Structure 1
Amino acid sequence: MEAERSDDEGISRREVLTRGAMLGAGVVVGPTVLAACGNSDSGTTAASSGGGTSDELNILTWEGYHQEPWLAKYTDKTGVTVNVTNVGSPAEMFSKVKANPDQYDIIYNTSGWYDQYVESDLIVPIDESAVPNVKLISDAFPWRDATSVDGTNYGILYTWGDQPLGWNTDDIPGNYNVDQFMGDAGVPDDWNILWDPQFKGLVTIFDDPTSVEPMIPLALGFPDPYNLDEEQFEQFEEKLFELRPQVRKLTSGFDDQANTFITGEAIIGYVNHTLVVVEANRKGVPIEANH
């Protein structure tokens, strides 16, 4: 179906709507980045190649990022309906877009995955002039380094955060000998606690190699977790395999990891998102996190 075009602007109506969604989402710096789907060979814009109609947008995002009450206000203001699909990991997001590239208008990609999307011709360059709030992003973050491929920018940073160490305070430190892992603040302050044999089968890790990878070199004390020499990589590989028996399961999505804490399957872990801690606490399970 051809996109409607504005005679005055010379752009599709859906392109205008897509830009509106970018603005409405709010542009904040971080590792989760907004990208527009499209195919460079077809000559279509990001807006005219997605799955939505002229008055709707299909977005691929994360649990907790786009709640229905927020989207309802946007729909009331603009008349545009936003259809949300949530994913639990960057790999799942990439698989969904690759399987159905015409289904989504906007994706909330993870910064380490841009090369894969561009190589697969799944996203189109971002027109930053259509997103005035770009100027509000701090220059302290070299965010275009993460969203650009071969000098072309494909995304706008939307949010940022960290993946903290989390534990159940009903169990830790009280029921375990963890003195060697405690920091000055009286809480666990060492990634190596995840390897302690006391916690075999009680550790939770989320299924995202891009985010989990740097934690291993940090546990090893390497100064630059993203640039390892051959010797460091061999130590990294060995350390990673040593962690496997500790892990109950690899979780997919915030709710999945929160449930491992809530059910008691895990009492300590590398936490995917602060929402995991919030949800566990809401269910009465006292998970604390060290950021």
Structure 2
Amino acid sequence: MKRGWMSIIVSTVVSLALTAAGCSSESSGSGQTESGLDKELNVFNWSEYLPESVIKKFEEKYGVKVNYSMFSSNEEMLAKLSAGGGVFDLSVASDYFIESMVKQDMIEPIDLNNIPNFKNYLPDFINKDFDPGNRYSVPYMGNTVSIGYNPDKITSEITSYDDLWKPEFKRQIVLVDDQRFIIGIVLKTLGYPGNDTDPAHLEEAKEKMLKLMPNVKAFDSDSPKTLLINGEVNIALVWGPEIALAQREKPQIKTALPKEGLMITMDNFVIPKGAKHKKTAEAFINFILEPEISAEISESFPYINPNGEARKLIPKEVLDNIAIYPPAEEMSRVEGVKDVGDAIKLYDRIWSEVKSTQ
């Protein structure tokens, strides 16, 4: 999610991380820290998803150098892990990617004995169907996609995804650059499930999405709130937390929860196959799950936090913001993004064909 001012604070980009990881402390025989961990950790995460302050606190506490790299989509993450093998020690992947990654033998089992703070999770977020017992994944944060808009500029009421097709919104919309969410939402406007795999339904969704393109100014997963804040667009179909962050700059921005219902995904920590610093990666996960640390992350990047102890430290106005935490009645009918198997090839083709018209 994601999710770019974060790029300013990152000491390495993906290409440099590939080089740095190849010269990691373990492979060079430089030993371990006083805490018994490896001296380096190579982390791969969404952009705008982890504050520098948290990374520095981990480094200072454990004497570990964190090489931090970012991606903008699950597809980019998967491609890098496939190409890089054990270059990264820890990555983040959305829930609907986990099962496939396990089948492809891309990730290592996680030793929950090394993550005692696992006890802090709310029950609704663990032991899910895609990874029973959390053998391969540990929740990080999640989000729905909602509609944010500036009522000072948009006079029409927005209550539905279908409203985005109004001709008056020409070049007024930014869409999150995520094919599963956007195609899923278009499917929902047609009365189909957001995870539909019927080729005829997907072709219908493609034709409808093509009709939306004149209204779309940009696709952006790195920092879509920026276009809304600076007035380049007045409507954003994006991660809910991006709307919440935009509201910090422009309080007049409103959130619309479309009548068709929301889609949701949770991101999870995974350890790539062949990771050289597995125990250190597990220590990092455990550190992230410290209530104060987890709450600090939510202050900077207010995504859905599955950590029950951390939620006790999160301000009420954040927990009450429907862009981040939709009301219970909305959550009761939310649709999770799921693995669509071989139909992903259809999603890929549709996404490529639609975006090529921009």
Question: Structure 1, residues 258-282: CA drift from partner, whole Å, max 9, x if none?
Answer: 222234332112113413541x345
Matched-pair contact (CA < 8 Å) for 2:228–2:236: no
**Deviations 1:210-245 (CA, angstroms, capped at 9, x unpaired):** 2223212322334x3224556544433332222223
Gaps of 5+ in 2: 4-20, 26-37, 257-322, 324-358
| Matched residue type, 2:219 | L
The equivalent residue for 1:94 is 78
CA distance in 1 between counterparts of 2:124 and 2:131 reads 15
1:245 and 2:214 correspond: yes
Q: Are positions 1:155 and 2:137 aligned together?
A: yes
Larger RCO (alpha carbons 8 Å, 6+ apart)? 2
Opposite residue 189 of structure 2, the aligned amino acid is A
After the TM superposition, which residues 55-204 of structure 1 pair with which residues of structure 2 at under 5 Å, given as runs? 55-118=39-102, 120-141=104-125, 143-147=127-131, 153-173=135-155, 178=156, 182=157, 188-204=158-174
| Alignment correspondent of 1:267 | 234
For 1:203 and 1:215, locate their aligned partners in 2 and report how far apart those are by CA, in whole Å: 15
Using the TM superposition, give the Cα deviation of residue 77 of structure 1 relative to its aligned residue in structure 2, in angstroms: 1.9
- The structure that is helix-richer by fraction is 2
Task: State the superposition RMSD in angstroms.
Answer: 3.2
The normalised TM-score by structure 2 is 0.55
For the residues of structure 2 that align with 1:171 and 1:266, how far apart are their CA atoms?
10
Distance in structure 2 (CA, Å) of the matches to 1:259 and 1:164: 16
* 1:40 match: none
Query: Which residue, out of 177, 184, 188, partners 1:207?
Result: 177
8 A Cα contact 2:173 2:234, kept in partner: yes
- Is residue 31–residue 159 contact of structure 1 (8 Å, CA) maintained in 2? no
User: How far off is 1:166 after superposition?
Assistant: 0.9
Partner secondary structure for residue 70 of structure 2: strand
Structure 1: how far apart are the matches of 2:162 and 2:78?
31
TM-score by length of 1: 0.66
For structure 1, list consecutive stretches of 5 or more residues without a partner in the other structure: 1-29, 33-48, 183-187
Distance in 2 between residues matched to 1:234 and 1:64, nearest whole Å = 33
Contact in 2 for aligned 1:31/1:157 (Cα 8 Å) = no
Displacement of 1:191: 0.8
SS at match of 2:98: helix
Q: Distance in 1 between matches of 2:77 and 2:251?
A: 29
CA contact (8 A) 1:205 1:247 kept: yes
d(CA) in 1 for partners of 2:62, 2:136: 25
Aligned residues of 1:162 and 1:273 also touching (Cα < 8 A):
yes
**Percent identity of equivalent pairs:** 27
Q: Given residue 186 of structure 2, which amino acid in structure 1 is its aligned partner?
A: I
Which deviations, in whole Å up to 9, do the C-alpha atoms of 1:176-197 show, x marking residues without a partner?
xx2xxx4xxxxx2211111111
- Rounded to whole Å, the distance in 1 between the matches of 2:213 and 2:201 is 19
Instruction: Decide which structure has the larger Cα Rg and report it.
Output: 1
Contact conserved, 1:51 with 1:104, CA < 8 A, in 2?
A: no
Separation (CA, whole Å) in 1 of partners of 2:161 and 2:126: 27
Distance in 1 (alpha carbons) for counterparts of 2:153 and 2:134:
49
Q: CA separation of 1:120/1:230 partners in 2, compared to 1, >3 Å: closer, same or farther? A: closer
SS in 2 for 1:207: coil
Partner secondary structure for residue 214 of structure 1: helix
* Displacement after TM superposition at 1:87 (Å): 2.0
Contact 1:50 1:105 in 2 (8 A): no
Correspondence for 1:289? 255
Q: Equivalents in 1 of 2:213, 2:206: separation in Å?
A: 11
Task: Confirm or deny: 8 A CA contact 2:187 2:194 kept in the other structure.
Answer: yes
SS in 2 for 1:84: strand
